[in-house]
Each structure stands twice: as structure tokens, then as C-alpha cells.
Structure 1
Amino acid sequence: MKGILLVNLGSPDSPEPKDVKKYLGEFLMDERVIDVPLWARNLLVKGIILNTRPKASAAAYKKIWWEEGSPLIVISKRLQEKIQKQVETPVALAMRYGSMTIKKSMQELVDKGVSEILLFPLYPQFAMATTETILVLAEEIQKQYFPQVKLDSVKAFYNKPDYIKVLSNSIKKHLEGKDYDHLLFSYHGVPERHIKKRDITKSHCKIDGSCCITPSKAHEFCYRHQCLEVTRLVAKHLQLEDNSYSSSFQSRLGFDPWLQPYTDRTIERLGKEGIKNMAIVTPAFVSDCLETLEEIAMEGQEIFHEVGGKDFTTIPCLNDDEEFVDLLSNWINNWIN
């Protein structure tokens, strides 16, 4: 029997500092998140970050925490439940980090008689720190604990026409009746070296003004290209006017160069340039989480207002939107059949 394993990022068990510290420790010690030698990662994460950041991160989580729990977990469960109603095979949910582990969810599927699993990372774009780390861990777990199970996976779907249509429709719906001067596509940031590390040609990615728009095999694993392509395709679908939209990258950490332009500085610049009504969408995430609800909707809005901006519209992620549920269910049913 076939089964589906949806995998999202994860969340602390609570917004308390001890749980946030445990979660951050697992997340930041992942060699595909902070890709430096183990001794340096230990020094940075255990010696510095985990002694300074958990309290501030816990305060941020408390701002966005729902009665039912972590927004990302609650939304992901809603998505799972809605998809389960549209497909006949078992659908499980796991998180890459935290207590809802991939191993537990694989075991849940195996206990239901599943012998072939479709691993579905809930990320439109490929990145080392998202899709790749899920695929690598899932394969390790499958080989060690479930050797009898066949594992398949969903590739990045950033440029699939039906996904672009659903994303565009969601943006259009949430902007209906609103006047806005600029639409900002904000994507989760990654260090520039991640892009170059995953350049399968070893020469194409220069992170300049041309490599992401020049055809290349490197694009299959290039997060930057895939983000910019989402912006281009959505803008084309919605027939957005030139200069009425742009892309940026958020959530940088440390001192190494990360993908630019940075979202916080872009929001500030746009406000200073006279943009009064701004909308922002975050297509690197399918579920609203700390980065969208606190960093963008709260901190971003504060920056915009400080420089003279007036209306700041945050467009929700696709979450458990009915069109998105239908889309994922159709893809899953096609795989099953």
C-alpha cells in the first residue's frame, strides 16, 4: 500500500525558553543549515547562540502563539486533515525538527500497512537547509529502520503552472479592494555559499545580475533562481506592471554574505522613497510561521511605519487554502494512480 508523508520545518513544543533552546539546538546544529565544520558549529551554536538567543526567540514565539499551539503545526495539521479527505491512502505529517519526527511518522504509516511512501517536503523551492535536509534524513531513517519500505519524493514545484495559478489567485484574493503601490515578494534567506555549493555545473552560479536568468542545469538546485522565477511567473500571471513589485530575502544570521536585497532594508528603502501602501507575500513558506507572523507582519510593519509608510498588507501563506488543498491532493492522487 502507498502512503504520503508531508514534512514541514518544525516548531518548539512551547514558547518557553527551555523548549525554544532545545528546538534551536537541533535546528542550528544541522550541517545543512549552518554548513561549517563541526567544531565551529559547536562553538557558534552551543557556545554563543544558545546562550543568548533562546530568551529573545521565546518572546517572539509568544507574540504569535495560538491557543491550539504553534501556528505552523496547527496549520500543517489542518492541511494534512483536508488532504486526507481527498485521497484514499494514509497521509501522515512530520517535522524536520522538534518532537513530530520523521521516524515517528514513518512508523505510523508502516503500522497502517504502507510499503511505499511519497515524501512531500512542503517547500516550493529547493534549498540545502529545507528540502535537501529532509530528503537526506528521511533516506537515512528509511535505510536504518524501514529497509522494506520504498521511498519516493516530490521535487521542487516552484515553476509548475498549476502552483503558480493557485499562488497568484491567493495573492489576488487577499489584495482585492486594497490600494497598494508596491508588492514585495519576500523569501527566506540563505548564505550565498549555499547557492554556489549546489551548483551542479561548478561554474554557473556567480550570484550576479545574469546567472539566474541565463538557462542552465544549475537551476534545478538553485534556490535563488527558483525564488526569482516564482516572482517572475506570478507577476506575469497577475499582469503586474514593471516597478510595481520586487523580490527580497529575510532572516539572515551571522556575518557571512546572504542573498540580497535584504527584506528589512528593502521595506525601509521603499518607505523612504515614498511608497505609502505596501503589500508583502512570502512564497518560500506554505504555512504561516514565526518568520511570516512576527518578522514580517510585526517587525516589517513597524519598520514601514517608522519611515512614513501607511498601509502595510501582509498576504497569508497558502496554509490550508481550498485551492492549495485541491492542488496537492491532485498531485498525490496522480502519484497513487
Structure 2
Amino acid sequence: MKKGVLLVNLGSPESTDTKDVRRYLDEFLMDERVIDLPYVLRALLVKGIILNTRPKKSAEAYKKIWWPEGSPLIVLSKRLQQNLQKKVAIPVELAMRYGNPSLEFGLSQLVAQGVEEVFLVPLYPQFAMATTETILVLAEKIKNKNFPNLKIKAQPAFYNKKDYIKNLADSIKDSLTDFNSDYILFSYHGVPERHIKKSDVTKSHCQINAECCATPSKAHEFCYRHQCLETTKQVAELLGLKEGTYSTSFQSRLGRDPWLQPYTDATIDGLAQKGIKNLAVVTPAFVSDCLETLEEIGMEAAHSFKENGGENFLSIPCLNDREDWVATLANWIKDFQNT
């Protein structure tokens, strides 16, 4: 049985034109696992309100970080795919959950090369409804409709895999070589609290507090909050970080419903106000730099930190196409080949 690999990342607008951004946001926000409201309410919110106000603002943000080659997330994902292909003997294709290249296109490219079993790798270290789950659901739907004989094996959340943790710790260490940080903030993408409870397979364990995330449970296999905290914990241990010199926060909330806390923007402002002068921020929910890392953290958060009394701010790059991260992915693919 011929095998192949499909890397899947979030996606990006085709350009910084407001029309392209609106089209992208429409596909993204109308996903029932991103905004988990009944269709009519979701459509009223997205098409009736958000798409009439947000695309122009988001387009301006994309313009700040857009590269000559295109969207940073797309460019970096392609580099990862290309470097990975050099290290493995089976086909490696790339797809995006939203926008292009689409999941359907990615699977079709593999099938056209004779692939019968796909190793699907969502490029998200932690599991969440709005990231990993929506990729797996769509991939299965496309398979059943267009490629019924195709087999798909998905890479589980890798938030606590030793090789990934080491890659992340080494990337932080390398970035801090010329930056004397007083504090390291681990900022993860935020999700609504209700997503955490919906993902609780036990239907009783999750209380969204320190106790439930520290108590062993089957719920942790799909608990985004636990997995974020565990990533921070393991990286901090590997780096030998002292208590009080690092913490975890969550960014990019939308709407008025409760989202995971503490919030990154409030945390960064608070650290500056408490006298932290040199702050480093790492974003381990992403493996590729994107709008949330380059603009929201690297620009907006950096500005706010200095406005509140901070002096030096470092946004640590994502793993992107680091050689050690490529090697780790190559090893996972070789394990897949041998199964």
C-alpha cells in the first residue's frame, strides 16, 4: 500500500484585499466548530455583523505582515513541506483548512500519485475543536465523498511528545541568546470556555480550574487548556525556568462569552506595570508564524508593553522550518511508513 503525507495548517486570505479577507473570514467563522452556534444564529452574527465590520480592519493588519512572496503562514508552511520532502521517501503535500490549497486539493494530489494511505498531520500541537477536530472531520467527509478507498491515519496532538518539547525549548533558548529576559510568557490562541467542556469526553471532569487540569483523566486527551498548560510545564522544566519568571496566557478572543484566561493583552500590560522591563513571548499553539504571532504579538503587544512601562520586548519565532523541527516530523513520518 503506497503511503503519503498531508500537512494541514490553518490558512490565509489570498491577498490583503478586503474582498479576499472577507471571503476567508466567511469560510473560517462560518465553521460550526469555530463559532459553535446554530446555523441561523451563526449566519446572523457572521454575515450580518462581523463581515460588515471586521474584514477592513483585518485587511489592514494583514498588510502589516504580508511578505513579497505572499502570506507568511503559507510561505512558511510551503518551506516546511519542501524541506520535509527532502528527508522522506514518500510524497508530502500541503493543505489549508480554510482557503487554498484546500484539503480536497491536497488529498487529490496524493491520490493522483497513487497514494492509498495518508498520514494526516494537523500542524497544531494541542487539540481543539476549532483546529484539529475541524480538520479531521472535513478530511473524513472529503474522503467518504471523493476517495472512499483511501485510508487516513491522523497524527494525534503532540503537545507532550519529547522531541517536539525539545524543539520548542531549543528554539526559545536560541532566541534568548542575545536577549536577557526578565520573564517569559507562553501565549496560546484562546478558545471559548464552552469549547473546553464540549470536548470533555467524560462529560464531568472539566471544571476549568487548576485542580482538574492537574488531575489525571481521559478528558486530557482532548482538553486544549490542559494541553497548553502541560506544554508550558514541560518546556519550563527542560529550560530550568524558575517559578515566578514565566506563565501561560491566552490571546485572540472574540465576542462577549467567557474565553480561557488569563488574557494575553491584560497579562502583558500587567507585567509591564509591575516592573518587568525585558519580556519574551513565545506562541506554542502555532508552529508557523502568522497574523496572530507577527501582528498581534510582535506589533500590538510589543507596543502596549512599552506603553505601560516595559522597555525591551521579544516575540520568539515559531518553529517554522527549523532544521530540528523538520527532522522531528521526518521521524514521525518514518514511523508511519514502518507501521
Cα distance between partner residues in 2 of 1:159 and 1:290: 25
Q: Which amino acid aligns with 1:57?
A: S
Cα distance between partner residues in 1 of 2:293 and 2:178: 22
Q: Which amino acid aligns with 2:70?
A: G
Residue 174 of structure 2: aligned partner: 173
Superposed counterparts of 1:1-337, under 5 Å: 1-337=2-338
Deviations 1:268-323 (A, max 9, x none): 00000000000000000000000000000000001101001000011000000000
Cα distance between partner residues in 2 of 1:327 and 1:241: 28
Cα distance between partner residues in 1 of 2:17 and 2:261: 32
Question: Percentage identity across aligned positions?
Answer: 66
Deviation at 1:39, TM superposition (A): 0.8
Cα distance between partner residues in 2 of 1:151 and 1:322: 27
Question: Tell me, which stretches of 5 or more residues in structure 1 are unaligned?
Answer: none
Cα distance between partner residues in 2 of 1:297 and 1:106: 34
Q: Which amino acid aligns with 1:127?
A: A
Cα distance between partner residues in 1 of 2:151 and 2:24: 30
Number of equivalent positions: 337
Q: Which contiguous aligned blocks of 4+ residues in structure 1 show a shift greater than 3 angstroms?
A: none
Deviation at 1:334, TM superposition (A): 1.1
Cα distance between partner residues in 2 of 1:55 and 1:14: 12
Deviations 1:88-114 (A, max 9, x none): 000000000002111111111111111
When normalised by structure 2's length, the TM-score is 0.99
Cα distance between partner residues in 1 of 2:129 and 2:272: 33
Q: RMSD in angstroms over aligned alpha carbons?
A: 0.5
Provide the secondary structure at the position in 1 that maps to 2:33. coil
Question: Tell me, which stretches of 5 or more residues in structure 2 are unaligned?
Answer: none
Cα distance between partner residues in 2 of 1:180 and 1:147: 53
Provide the secondary structure at the position in 2 that maps to 1:3. strand
Provide the secondary structure at the position in 1 that maps to 2:179. coil
When normalised by structure 1's length, the TM-score is 0.99
Provide the secondary structure at the position in 2 that maps to 1:247. strand
Q: Which amino acid aligns with 1:162?
A: D
Cα distance between partner residues in 2 of 1:178 and 1:14: 34
Q: Which amino acid aligns with 2:278?
A: N
Deviation at 1:177, TM superposition (A): 2.9
Deviation at 1:209, TM superposition (A): 2.3
Cα distance between partner residues in 2 of 1:210 and 1:172: 30
Provide the secondary structure at the position in 1 that maps to 2:204. coil
Cα distance between partner residues in 2 of 1:115 and 1:202: 36
Q: Which amino acid aligns with 2:168?
A: L
Provide the secondary structure at the position in 2 that maps to 1:53. helix
Cα distance between partner residues in 2 of 1:162 and 1:11: 28
